[in-house]
Amino acid sequence: MTKFFNTAGPVNPEKHYYVAHRFNETEIRQLVTQEKYFILHAPRQSGKTTGLLQLVKMFNSEGQYHALYANFEAAQAARAQYNYALPIILQELATRAHEQLPEEKEFLKIFEDIKREAVPAGSLLSTLLSRWCAQSKKPIILFIDEIDSLVGDTLISVLRQLRSGYDKRPANFPQSLCLIGVRDVRDYRIYSDEQQTMVLGGSAFNIKAESLTLASFTRAQVENLYRQHTAETGQKFTDEAIDYAFEQTQGQPWLVNALAYQACFRDITDRSQVITKETLERAKEVLIQRQDTHLDVLIDRLNEPRVYKIIDAIINGQSEKRFFPHDDILYCTDLGLIKKDKYEIANPIYQDIFPRALTSSLQNQIDTKSLFYKNSDGSINGTTLIKEFQQFFRENSVSLLENFNYLESGPHLVMMAYLQRVINGGGTVHREYALGRKRVDLLAKYRDQRIVIELKVWQGPSTLKEGLEQTAEYMDVSNATEGHLIIFDQRPSKSWDEKLYQRQETCNGKTITVWGA
């Protein structure tokens, strides 16, 4: 069977192309040797489970420890009812032990004894682990995946039971334990029905030694992954294609695999044809439009208050006037939405997906049939297009933006939706934006046209000067054929007749059309 790029579930190196050794093995070995409990967190579908399963096999093959991997996600269905959730968790441990440690016959006996004894749910997990470790001939290393899928009192109970046996390790509790999830335990905000209060994860599990994370692929690792396909099938990737894949994904593992799968197993299945940058550009557009589960999960997060306040500011470009709680920044980083230590959306594909997802309903309300934006030769008439947008924004902005979470960036998102709807099918829209740059760069590519559209919110007399300089700069960088600057004036004292205007300006040798909206 020919290997392929995996986009669903853990990678199996026997079936899938695979980038090995992404964990810091030396660091993990040291934590295990020092009998530490630690956290491993990284965004979804970044390779955590794949790497952990390989680690468990490695530890068990060496013979010094009994290593066990378990996934607690099934207990999420019990929600906060830990008396129902804990038996599910114990059954998961028993099933995994049977699969991974078949020589540990005593484990199943302990499991059956505990069920007969009717041990209270609040001590089921700690009792099982204590008895197992006490009789095991080797120290136990336990890896618990999807820990943050547990809810409320169930999560509190699990964390506290794990903490309760910490002083008994390694003879009567796991020598080392790793909790795996999307977020660090310090970010767990758990509401306890029993206590009628919020319990922070750090207080429920305050024994962790380290919080580790898993980095995205490097450019070299992307190349390694893609060259495996070449070695397997003979189908080559150009260097430009690999550069493009890394630039667009920033090494996010699911995106790297999904791009290549679409290109090699859906678009071009003839192995004699080379995968080029243009091939991956088509694959990217398919992924964005299809919005697979990985992307759907991220998009759902965009409506969380802790998230949309930050993403709103990134799109709007107004950082100097905003303060965000440090925990909220870490939360967005842990989810993989923004870059670490930077107020930027994590990668160009997400930059495209987020505004499209946020404005999907807006796009559906835009009637492109009535927009006379094309010249007789089929090219886009930028002036007509934006003039139509002015009128559309005047007539519809209030109804479109009411009950919309993204208030500050609302005008920008309406323009993005409008432009995407108009260009869709005949060209592409490229977005570049970052918190603190005070701008959104839009580049519409249609045939040989490269139309720059800069979006600014009126902040005072300096807005025009800054906007012209930024538009001219981006026109130069992108080799634009024309440039437009749209200034949204949200002052309630201004009438629409005052807000709407059009005029020509020149800046650094570039002719720019300035629009009011």
In a domain, 306, yes or no: no
Q: Each residue of 422-452: pLDDT tens digit?
A: 776 567 788 776 555 555 678 888 888 999 9
Asked if 244 and 202 sit in the same domain, the reply is no
pLDDT for position 198: 57
User: Any idea what the CATH number is for the domain that residue 130 is in?
Assistant: 3.40.50.300
Q: What pLDDT does residue 246 have? A: 98
pLDDT for the residue 76 = 94
Residue 4 has pLDDT above 60, yes or no: yes
Q: Are 254 and 261 within 8 A, CB to CB?
A: no
Mean pLDDT of 228-249: 97
Distance separating alpha carbons of residues 5 and 239, to the nearest angstrom: 19
Question: Is residue 309 included in any domain, yes or no?
Answer: no
Phi/psi at 342 (nearest 5 deg)? -140, 140
233 with 202, same domain: the answer is: no
Ramachandran assignment for 277, one of left (phi > 0), alpha (psi -120 to 50 degrees), beta (any other): alpha
166 CB-contact burial (10 Å; exposed 0-12 / middle 13-18 / buried 19+): middle
Where b means 16+ CB within 10 Å and e means fewer, 425-443 reads: eebebebbbbbeebbbbbb
Q: Retrieve residue 250's tokens.
A: 């920033």
Q: Domain of residue 267: give its range.
A: 219-290
Q: Long-range contacts of range 379-386, CB-CB < 8 Å, 24 or more positions apart?
A: 379/446, 379/447, 379/448, 379/449, 380/422, 380/423, 380/427, 380/444, 380/446, 380/449, 380/451, 382/449, 382/451, 382/482, 382/484, 382/513, 383/502, 383/513, 385/422, 386/453, 386/484, 386/486, 386/513, 386/515
Among 164-178, 318-332, 357-371, 432-446, top mean pLDDT goes to 164-178
Nearest Cα to 256, choosing from 507, 509, 517, 6? 6
Cβ atoms of residues 199 and 187 within 8 Å: no
Confidence of residue 420 (pLDDT cuts 50, 70, 90): confident
Average pLDDT, the chain: 88
Has residue 407 been placed in a domain?
A: yes
pLDDT the model gives residue 74:
96
Q: Is there a single domain that holds both residue 470 and residue 387?
A: yes
**Percent of the chain, pLDDT > 70?**
91
| Span 121-137, pLDDT tens digits | 999 999 999 999 999 99
Q: Residue 203 above 70 pLDDT?
A: no
Cα–Cα dist 318/433, whole Å: 11
Instruction: Tell me the CA distances in angstroms from 122 to 79, 127, 171, one per residue in order.
Output: 15, 10, 22
Q: Identify whether residues 44 and 153 lie together within a single domain.
A: yes
Residue 304 lies in a domain: no
Q: Are residues 230 and 182 in the same domain?
A: no
Are 357 and 472 part of one and the same domain? Answer: yes
Is 498 part of a structural domain of the chain?
Answer: yes
Predicted confidence at residue 318, as pLDDT, reads 61
Within-domain flag for 248: yes
Confidence of residue 87 (pLDDT cuts 50, 70, 90): very high
Is residue 458 over pLDDT 70? Answer: yes
pLDDT of 510 over the 70 cut: yes
Do residues 188 and 258 both lie within one domain?
no
User: Is residue 481 domain-shared with residue 357, that is, in the same domain?
Assistant: yes
| SS3 state at 76 | helix
Q: How far, CA to CA in Å, does 103 sit from each of 99, 125, 138?
A: 10, 21, 12
Claim to verify: residue 132 and residue 200 sit in the same structural domain: yes
Q: Which amino acid is at 497?
A: D
Residue for token digits 């758990």?
190
Is there a single domain that holds both residue 165 and residue 265? no
Q: Report the number of distinct structural domains present in the chain.
A: 3
Which among 458, 473, 486 has a CA at the least distance from the CA of 383?
A: 486
Distance CA 338, CA 346 (A): 4
Task: Indicate whether 51 pLDDT > 80.
Answer: yes
Most trustworthy range by pLDDT among 28-37, 177-186, 319-328, 453-462: 28-37
325: in domain: no
pLDDT tens, residue by residue, 351-399 = 888 888 887 766 666 665 555 678 888 888 899 889 988 988 898 888 7
Q: Residue 263 belongs to a domain with what CATH number?
A: 1.10.8
pLDDT value at residue 23 = 86
Same domain as 498, residue 385: yes
What torsion, rounded to 10 degrees, do the Cα atoms 20, 26, 27, 29 define?
100
Count Cβ atoms within 10 A of the Cβ of residue 468 and give its class: 0-12 exposed, 13-18 middle, 19 or more buried: buried
Q: pTM of this prediction?
A: 0.84
Say what percent of the chain tops pLDDT 90: 57
Beta bridge partners of 237: 275
Q: What is the dihedral of CA 320, 458, 421, 451, to 10 degrees?
A: -90
For residues 159 and 277, membership in a common domain is answered with: no
Asked which of 183, 213, 243 is the last residue of a domain, the reply is 213
Residue 16 counted as domain residue: no
Reported residue count of the chain is 517
